[in-house]
Structure 1
Amino acid sequence: MDSKGLWALLWVLVVVGCAVALLPVASVGAVADAGATGATVQEDEEPVEREELDEADEVHIDVSLLENGSATFEVDYRYFLENENNTEEDWEELREQIDSDPEAFTEAEMEGWDSIRAEGQNETGREMNISNATVSTDESPAPRDIGHVQFTFEWSSFAYVELTEITAGDALSGFTLIEGTTLQITGPEGYAVHEHEPTADSTEPNAVYWDGGGTEFNDDQPRVVFIENGDSAAEATEPDDGLPTTWLAVLAALGLLATGAVIGWWLRHGRDDKPAPGGDVAAPPPSNEAPASGNAAGPPPELLSNEERVLRLLEERGGRIKQQEVVAELDWTEAKTSQVVGSLREDDEIEVFRIGRENVLSLPDEDEE
């Protein structure tokens, strides 16, 4: 091959090599152009969204409990408008971003809450789920102009329920309230706060409120116990508190009537025990007591169901007994006792109420319709 042929071959190799080298570059450019509104932009936008939310002046977390232990969460990010941090223009820009793609904001917010849920599930052993998450924006003009970004969602098995008592907070164990963050836990309608820890910054009959500022709950905090119908009604039945004056008067009157009846009976029949003419002795009045027999106590405990054993124990105690005494008397666990008591209560075999911090079981009043 002469020199002209070699030069021609060299030029062909150079052209082919350049073409092959340019193919990957052209492919990357085409993918970037095609995904300009896809994943590339999403990766850039998500940190901006979280940064915008983190610039809120206050964050209010409101937890509303249901009787089954689930809870509705409302997380309210508040932006004080016309200050150095958040202007009207900043707020309107954030609001437009949320309204144009609410799913992205909701997903980012729920990612953080789901981590808290997972820790709460491991801590409590209760299976929990977060669902029905939504986001909305709003403004309130008084007492100052405030922009609101509100997330709402449902949290199943958030609280522990036992009979008429609901204990909440263990799913948030170790939760920290930073400056500008508040937490409020509200009980269901008809329930009142019985006890709570740590000491709340504000309390209502059925709600407790903690204000942030570095408040860090311990491993077993926050903890709020709600009781159906309130604690005051239960404490009114405490024996140590005494009975109302009206009832004391009624009992005293009944006592006098009973004493008078006994005296009257004795005056009429007291001499019947004296020897009758002819040496005969009057027969004593018939006794109301049943003759003793081996079957008076009923079948042995091992032949009774768990429910029958509780009912027998109630009858032996005059129709009323504390639940903890059932645990001790029958040598059962608290969980087993609660299960049996719950079954009896559902069948209207017994009634359950509270005295102080304890459950008291009683047989239903037969006179009630």
Structure 2
Amino acid sequence: MRLSTAVTFALIALLATSTLGAVAAVPSAHVSASEMEPATTAPSQSSLETAVDPHSVPSIDSAGVHPTLSDNRTSLAPADPAQVIRIQVEDDGDAHWSIESRFLLIDQADNETFDSWAETVVTGQRSVGYDSQSFATELEAAQDATGREMAIVDAGWDAPRTEPLNPETDAFPDSVDPENETVAVAVVSYSFTWENFATAEDERVYFGDAFESPDGTWFPTLSSDQRLVIESPENYALETPTHLVWDGPHHFEQGELEIVFVSGPVGPSGFDWYLAGALAVLTLVVLVYAGYRLSLAVFDDESDTDTSAVADDLSRSKATESTASSADSSGVELQHDDEDDVDPELLSDEERVHRLLKQNGGRMKQASIVTETGWSNAKVSQLLSKMDEDGEIEKLRIGRENLITLPDVDPVQTD
């Protein structure tokens, strides 16, 4: 089996009871207490009455292969999303993983069914195939890709819990009337700590390289009923704005999960930072436009009263500029052309950054450098930190963005 298939099952394989019958790895159908045997119509599902090796079971087919069970108030329906994979990044580089299975509880019978079933799971009376070795293959691949020693510790089931249905993050089922029924979400989760999953260095945490393997990423996709949530270390902010929540179905592009966290104050939410930045830019645009209109009005007044004087001044100015341009234009143009003719692949990383800065007036946002070079966020962040220490550039923190300038450029100067 390929590695991506293995980890897909390891992340999505979840739970059923003898009273609930066979359930897909991620709950995706009603589960009736009257179904005592696994359904024969779902060959891709494994009965959780038997210990399951997550690396030997095929991926679950979500296109209608799950059994249809009786739709009554003694059954458990999956929440939406049915599974949340939550990764809490720590400031020392460790990552706390929690794989949550989520069910809808509509009435008291559902509560009793879930409580009884979840108790047998978390106390070890029912084997569902999760143990500390479930991610051994992925751990080995991550160690080979990063060169770091890693370990998975403190693995086990968390206490079952219930929480209100959140209309902002959860989909409300069409079959349930919110005015007549109080719906809750039941959660049972398997968690562990993955040591050295990220790298902590110079008040930054570099996250994401551990998802790589010699054959590419071992975490390529999310299914339609999955959600991935990455939580930043306490008192850390994003160095380069990016997503921290992904809903399936989703295919991860190369380097998409590479994230750099930087120590510093964190605002109430990413949305507030973006809104504040947008308002600041809008205010600046309005001020510049107002100044431009005012200068036009003053110029028109002066031209009406003294047109000939202005014309003479303009003529003299153009003559002077023409003379100066004739004297040095050839050298300047040749120098610019020479720079443009250089193949970027022949330049060092530092030289490419210097060249980009010179082409953009000596100032660029760090995110723009990432876009222009096509490098990962982590590579750009590490390179710029080194260049800043060596005095080759200067970094100015503005909100959640880094402004990169050449040493002789005033970062607050406007053209």
Indicate the TM-score class for this superposition, using the shorter chain for normalisation: 0.3 to 0.5
More helix as a share of residues: 1
Determine which structure has more spread, i.e. the larger CA radius of gyration. Answer: 1
TM-score between the two structures when normalised by the length of structure 1: 0.43
TM-score between the two structures when normalised by the length of structure 2: 0.40
